[in-house]
Structure 1
Amino acid sequence: MDILILEDDLPLLLAFAQALESDNHNVHAVSDIETAADIVSSCKLDILLLDLMIGNDSSLQIAELAGYAAPDAEVVYVTGSTKFANGELFQMYQNTSWVMRKPVDFRDLKALINYLGKSPSGKRGGSATQMLSAKAQA
């Protein structure tokens, strides 16, 4: 799968990229909104893994651009922010698939990405914690 990772914490960006590349995904790892916008506009992406806050800016504009440039791409937010703590992202942006809270366990991240890649429509409007909990109960 082709995955865009937008994360401004460089060690975390590299760790996410390595974790997903180890599962043979094609990863575009960037730390700024402008480069992310260029990639969304020019590449066919399957998943966007977006840190909600990039410095003082939000990555919401990248999700909005993806709604036009890559409408079938799944958008997964990874955030340590308390903004939108009650699921507002799902109401604001219909291409939001999942929200993961930092710190992120790499096994959970890889499981979610693999799930989205196998699912005909991974867009369920939930959190990765809910998905993994439901999976554990099955």
Structure 2
Amino acid sequence: MTLLIVESNPHLAAVWQRHVERYGRSVIVAHDQKTAVGALRDGGISIVISNVELENGSAFAVADYASYRCPDVRILFVTSASFFSDGSIFNHVANACACVPASSRPDDIAAMVEHYAART
């Protein structure tokens, strides 16, 4: 199963990628909505890590596309905003499985990916 990382910051995406690859998972990185949707369209994605605050495009549009075209794909959101700290993201995104702070340790995020990927 392949993970899709949707993150505008290439350095942060690379950090997450290295940690997830340690579990033996294949990773595709997209830095914007268009590339992320293209990766989902190509298929084979089992889980997505997406920063809520994308610079080019919308993380919610990526999640909506995944929900419609790939309903088994789960979205693990990462955010530096406190806006969704009340859990309301689960009311807006049907395939959301988690929403964690951007300050979360990369190895914790990788462990969460493995946990949710095992459920798909």
Q: Would the TM-score normalized by the shorter structure come out above 0.5?
A: yes
Give the ranges of 4+ consecutive aligned residues of structure 1 lying more than 6 Å apart after TM superposition. none
For residue 90 of structure 2, what is the aligned residue in structure 1? 90
- 1:51-85 per-position Cα deviation (integer Å, ceiling 9, x unaligned): 00111643100000000111001110011122322
Percent of residue pairs identical:
22
Q: Distance in 2 between matches of 1:24 and 1:68?
A: 28
TM-score when normalising by structure 1 = 0.81
RMSD: 1.4
What is the count of residue pairs matched by the alignment?
Answer: 120
* Secondary structure in structure 1 of the residue aligned to 2:45: coil
Q: Distance in 2 between matches of 1:2 and 1:56?
A: 23
For residue 59 of structure 1, what is the aligned residue in structure 2? 59
Q: Distance in 2 between matches of 1:27 and 1:105?
A: 18
For residue 36 of structure 1, what is the aligned residue in structure 2? 36
Q: Which amino acid aligns with 2:87?
A: G
Residue 87 of structure 1 and its aligned partner are, at CA, apart by 1.2
Aligned pairs for 1:1-12 (under 5 A) are: 1-12=1-12
Gaps of 5+ in 2: none
Q: Distance in 1 between matches of 2:43 and 2:88?
A: 28
Q: Which has the larger radius of gyration?
A: 1
* Secondary structure in structure 2 of the residue aligned to 1:50: strand
Aligned pairs for 1:1-138 (under 5 A) are: 1-55=1-55, 57-119=57-119
- 1:6-43 per-position Cα deviation (integer Å, ceiling 9, x unaligned): 00111101111111112111100111111001111112
Gaps of 5+ in 1: 121-138
* Secondary structure in structure 2 of the residue aligned to 1:48: strand
Q: Distance in 1 between matches of 2:107 and 2:16?
A: 11
* Secondary structure in structure 2 of the residue aligned to 1:53: coil
TM-score when normalising by structure 2 = 0.92
